[in-house]
Structure 1
Amino acid sequence: MGSIDGVVKKPLVKHSDDRGYFMELLRKDDAIYGSFGQASLSMSFPGVIKAFHYHQLQDDIWFFPSGHAQVVLHDMRKDSPTYRKTEAHYMGEDNSYLLFIPRGVAHGYRVLGLKPVTIVYFTNMAYDANQPDEYRLAYDDPQIAFDWSTKSR
């Protein structure tokens, strides 16, 4: 597994004191920002797999503020130097960063651990139910062939 072209991780910094913490997520002057379309929040229960889908016009920026997730990306862009590459990211409350997912990269996640995961995501387009820019693939799509099982050591 290698780094997929155009995917960007933005490390996040927690500023903690005896009252709690503060963390800046996304700023309009961030290199990964692009333009604003929509911000969304979703929660998934332990063991759930939400995969795969991709967009032709929309870029996503993902953040998991609570819980833990295995995020899997697969490059569907025929003109990309990383076409058909797959990579996994382990994101969540103990590993905080933003993940920029460019259009044409299939993405999905599996909830890890025994508690729900929360995802906050930003897109460069607002969702349009009449013309959804969302193309689905099965979580076990044979062309991606990702093994979602947890390996014991």
Structure 2
Amino acid sequence: MNNQTPRPSTAPEVGEWQFSGTKDVQTTCADWSLASVGNIQGVELKLITNVLTDDGTLTEIYRKDWRLDDLPVEQIFQKIMSPGSISAWHAHRQATDRLFCGYGRVKVILYDARKHSPTLGLLSIHRLAIERPSLLIVPPGVWHGVQAVSDSPAIVINAVDIAYSYEDPDHWRLPSNSAEIPYQFKHRA
């Protein structure tokens, strides 16, 4: 799912509640499609339907004819994340990531730091899970962090358009608690 950080809303009148809160933003439409709240330019989210078979389910992860982008797939890799673990922050100057959660649940936080982007400074949160498969396209220049939020390990599969260069990595990092990105991960107890 895609949503922005919850924003303050008009608080209930004094005396109506004992304490104030933060109003949720819309994440789902009446037809169960995901609401397009705070989309970062170039980010795409493709909901995928599982095919039920006699022996389980089949899930397509990527198809060229979905027309999400016209880029090649040069490398596919998986990352197994322990429950509660955080992999952040990452960005690429040239490579596009295509993220898919093959098992468990993850929260993917995106932050647009591209100087000439119309969505510069926008933060968006996406939840990827085995229960509702989807493919998230993350363009170059968008910082991203991933946190495993299920009680079991999570598997994240990435189908990149430019293979990782061991000699000259197109991989930029910030610590997960960087003050440069307006998001703080909640660490599990």
TM-score > 0.5, shorter chain as reference: yes
Higher strand share: 1
- Alpha-carbon offset, residue 76 of structure 1: 1.4
Q: Counterpart in 2 of 1:124? A: 161
Q: Counterpart in 1 of 2:88? A: 51
Q: Which amino acid aligns with 1:27?
A: R
* TM-align CA RMSD: 1.3
Between structure 1 and structure 2, the one with the greater Rg is 2
- TM-score computed with the length of structure 2 as normaliser: 0.76
- Alpha-carbon offset, residue 147 of structure 1: 2.4
Task: Pick from 141, 144, 151 the counterpart of residue 181 of structure 2.
Answer: 144
Matched, 1:20 2:56: yes
Q: Counterpart in 2 of 1:85? A: 122
- Alpha-carbon offset, residue 149 of structure 1: 2.0
Q: Distance in 2 between matches of 1:99 and 1:18?
A: 28
Map 1:105-116 → 2, pairs under 5 A = 105-116=142-153
Matched, 1:30 2:81: no
Q: Which amino acid aligns with 1:10?
A: K
Runs of 4+ in 1 over 6 A off after TM superposition: none
Task: Pick from 70, 73, 87 the counterpart of residue 107 of structure 2.
Answer: 70
Tell me the alpha carbon deviations over residues 72-119 of structure 1, each in whole angstroms, 9 at most, x when there is no partner.
001111111111111111111122100000000011111112110001
Q: Percent identity?
A: 30
Gaps of 5+ in 1: none
Q: Distance in 2 between matches of 1:66 and 1:113?
A: 9
Greater shift, 20-29 or 125-134, is seen at 20-29
**Of the two structures, which has the highest relative contact order with CA contacts closer than 8 Å and spacing of 6 or more?**
1
Name the SS of the counterpart of 1:29 in structure 2. helix
Q: Which amino acid aligns with 1:71?
A: V
Say whether the 8 Å CA contact 2:48–2:132 is kept in structure 1: no
Greater shift, 22-31 or 124-133, is seen at 22-31
Q: Distance in 2 between matches of 1:51 and 1:58?
A: 17
Matched, 1:4 2:51: no
Gaps of 5+ in 2: 5-37
Aligned length: 150
Tell me the alpha carbon deviations over residues 18-39 of structure 1, each in whole angstroms, 9 at most, x when there is no partner.
3211122211223124112100
- TM-score computed with the length of structure 1 as normaliser: 0.93
